[in-house]
Amino acid sequence: METLIITKNDIAEILTPSAAIAAVQKAFKAHGMKQAYMPEKSYLRFKKGGLSAMPAYIHGQGLDIAGIKSANRHPENAKHNLPPVMGIITLIDPKNGFPLAILDCVHITSIRTGATGALAARLLSRKNAKVAGFVGCGTQARTNLACTMEVRKLNLVKVWQRNRKSDSARNFCSWAEKTFNVGTVISSDVDEVTTQVDILVTTTPSRKPIVNEISPGTHINAFGADAPGKQEINPRILKQAKLVVDDMTQASYGGEINVPLHRRQIFKKHIYGELGEIVAGKKDGRISDQEITVFDSTGLAIQDISCAYAVYAQLKEKEEFTRINFF
């Protein structure tokens, strides 16, 4: 048996927004049906960076696959002519432990995050959502917009620009206009971007609340808090919202809810449930247009493994791709 090697370029051609949404929907339904096993993330910290490991096993919704994602973050890598984030996903056959494939994880991580935001938006935002606000306008903002456009017909995108000297907001808006033919607005007033929107997407590394004002009926996809101490949303908003997490254990440790839980600003009774429970039909999604909803996303291994398997399933029979005989 041979192991398939799948590069970033190979993945980008196959893992489109619609394909990624379909993959993560299966993963979250399996999670909600207790058909997935996912130990906690493990971390190694070095002087100039860190390494995380995320294993998962999905055994439902037509899937029987295991794997582990290993990803680094080294902010000073530019001086070595290397990207700051790199990593691989190894897909494992649960029947015998054989490594079916090794895949680049950077594109998968980016688009599976956006796809999960789109899945949450489909279940928790107003069906007639037209306006989206973005607090943060990097790669994650782009994949979130690209995937959300698959489930909602947005016509206006509002972007908060922290640094007026930066080109990131202008570049994001230019890309959005050309790609999706939407109107765009850039503002240095964060409240102007977080209010009067149907969907709000936050993707910053903030360690204190940035979002303090929202309008009734808003759905928030909170992606920035993915480690202890990070937070973007005022706990007052979390208390008044239908608060949904991707995984209770992981979110409590490092998601948007980690700081307010630790400070006893919110309690577990304020958390409505997990996204997988809604996907599986165990709990309702949005029930009124005036309801405020929040999805706290920390990034789960089941998202990576389901998307990696979707790519592998498309390529495993094609002879032109590289294979290695490890054993």
Instruction: Identify the three-state secondary structure at position 167.
Output: coil
Q: Match 């927004």 to its residue by tokens.
A: 17
Helix (H) or strand (E) holding 73: strand 65-73
d(CA 9, CA 309): 16
Paired sense of beta strands 65-73 and 85-92, if any: antiparallel
- Residues 44-67 as b or e (16 or more Cβ within 10 Å = b): eeeeeeebbbbbbbbebbebebbb
Asked if 132 and 197 touch (Cβ cutoff 8 Å), the reply is: yes
Helix, strand or coil, per DSSP, at residue 157:
strand
| Active site residues per annotation | 69
CA distance 28 to 23: 9
CA dist 306 and 296 (Å) reads 20
Tokens representing residue 154 in the block = 């947005």
Distance CA 34, CA 36 (A): 6
Q: Among residues 229, 187, 186, which one has the least CA distance to residue 209? A: 229
Residue 198 contacts residue 219 (beta carbons within 8 Å): yes
* Nearest alpha carbon to residue 134 among 162, 107, 113: 162
SS3 of 249, please?
A: helix
